[in-house]
Amino acid sequence: MLDDVQTWCAINTGTGHLEGLKKQASALADAFSALPGKVELVDPAPVTGIAADGSEFAIENGKHLVVRVRPTANRRLLFTGHMDTVFPKDHPFQEQTWLDNDVLNGPGVADMKGGIAVMLHALKAVEATGAAGSLGYDILINSDEETGSLASADLIAEMARGKLAALTYEPAALPDGTLAHARGGTGNYSITLTGKSAHAGRNPEDGRNTIVAAADLILRLKAMEREDITVNPAKLEGGGPNNVVPDHAVLRFNIRPKSTVAMEGFDSALNDLLREIESKHEITAHRHGGVTRPPKPVDDQAQRLFDLVKACGAELGQDIGWKSTGGVCDGNNIAACGVPVVDTMGVRGGSIHSADEFLIVPSLKERAALSALVISRLAEGALT
């Protein structure tokens, strides 16, 4: 497992680095061909973004790895992971360093190439025992999780359909192996505001100032915060020379809803707010984006899966706990499809998304054993 992790982490797979992602996908296709299923690389769905000038542009993403094992089985599981990291090709953090005999520092060692190794070797172990003979499963390793899985969201939903349960291999929520339990959701929006330019001295009254409109919008967005939702205005682009009334601005912001009710209520209220801004400032407002990951509550069926993981951990001498978190991942998308999921079955480590990211190497064996036992129990009829 460590050899796999180090080999994969030597490949830069920043979400936008298509050449690196292509190389990684090929390496993963070779590795997962050891399983008794069909391996394929699936094209990403189209994704667009909004440039600083308000124009819409295409965002390119890498192909996703899909493996289908015993697709006609009556009882089927879903396993997911991601091959991309947050470190682009030109990022200074590219090398691996041993911090001590058991701790490896490197890009993606925990998030989540270590998790992919855990998934693969757990499945290989279960297949070797014959315990999964009557169980079917699908595997998805996408190329764009770190940017919201916009190019794979439909694929996640399609592959989640009809599954008994799902395991996702994000790193543990804490270095001691604690799992992430309930999660909030997230959404990213870009609002393009178009007004009318005019001379700031001669005829400012003829202009329609989009910076003023954006400032009003920002304050009103912050006023929409409640106990169950936060709003973070993150970037305002626009304006020009001091003597010109600005006729263009783009506001980008993020929301973090804790419930589906909060998510849906905000989205509806935003439309009303934009109409008010348009009317008051005599500008036009165009919205792009929305909720990318719905909140992930833990219902009774999902709790049964958590309890199963905890019981399997106890059999192996691992004390498994969990805590709620504000972070998001593909587990949010899976849960939104009504499928119980534990989404932090990957390695123990920490400091992800930074140059201090580390993997606790003995956790490769620990977490692979945990997954193998959970899968075996599910094959025996747990949750049914």
Name the DSSP class of 92: S
Helices (H), the chain: 2-9, 18-32, 113-129, 153-160, 210-223, 260-281, 300-315, 330-335, 362-379
CA distance 234 to 230: 12
CB half-sphere exposure, 345, CA atoms < 13 A:
36
Angle between helices 2-9 and 113-129 (to 10 degrees): 140
**CATH number of the domain that residue 212 is part of:** 3.30.70.360
Residues 198 and 179 in one domain: no
CA nearest to 139, candidates 85, 70, 73, 86: 70
Name the 3-class secondary structure at 168: strand
pTM of the shown model: 0.96
Residues 300 and 172 in one domain: yes
Q: CA torsion sign, 27 to 28 to 31 to 34?
A: negative
CA distance 106 to 310: 29
How many domains would you assign to the chain?
A: 2
Provide the domain limits for residue 137. Answer: 2-183+296-379
List the pLDDT tens digit at each of the 384 positions of the chain: 999 999 999 999 999 999 999 999 999 999 999 999 999 999 999 999 999 999 999 999 999 999 999 999 999 999 999 999 999 999 999 999 999 999 999 999 999 999 999 999 999 999 999 988 889 999 999 999 999 999 999 999 999 999 999 999 999 999 999 999 999 999 999 999 999 999 999 999 999 999 999 999 999 999 999 999 999 999 999 999 999 999 999 999 999 999 999 999 998 999 999 999 999 999 999 999 999 999 999 999 999 999 999 999 999 999 999 999 989 999 999 999 999 999 999 999 999 999 999 999 999 999 999 999 999 999 999 998
Long-range contacts from 55-58, C-beta under 8 angstroms, 24+ separation: 56/288
- Cα distances from 46 to residues 64, 153, 289, 298, 337, in angstroms, run 13, 11, 13, 31, 21
Q: What is the pLDDT of residue 151?
A: 98
Name the DSSP class of 245: -
From 291, 320, 335, give the residue that closes a domain. Answer: 291
CA distance 107 to 8: 10
- Cα distances from 296 to residues 135, 292, 316, 336, in angstroms, run 26, 12, 28, 7
Residues 306 and 197 in one domain: no
pLDDT tens for 301-320 read 999 999 999 999 999 999 99
pLDDT tens for 257-300 read 999 999 999 989 999 999 999 999 999 999 999 999 999 999 99
Terminal C-alpha separation, the chain:
32
Residues 154 and 220 in one domain: no
Q: Which amino acid is at 7?
A: T
Residues 227 and 361 in one domain: no
Residues 366 and 269 in one domain: no
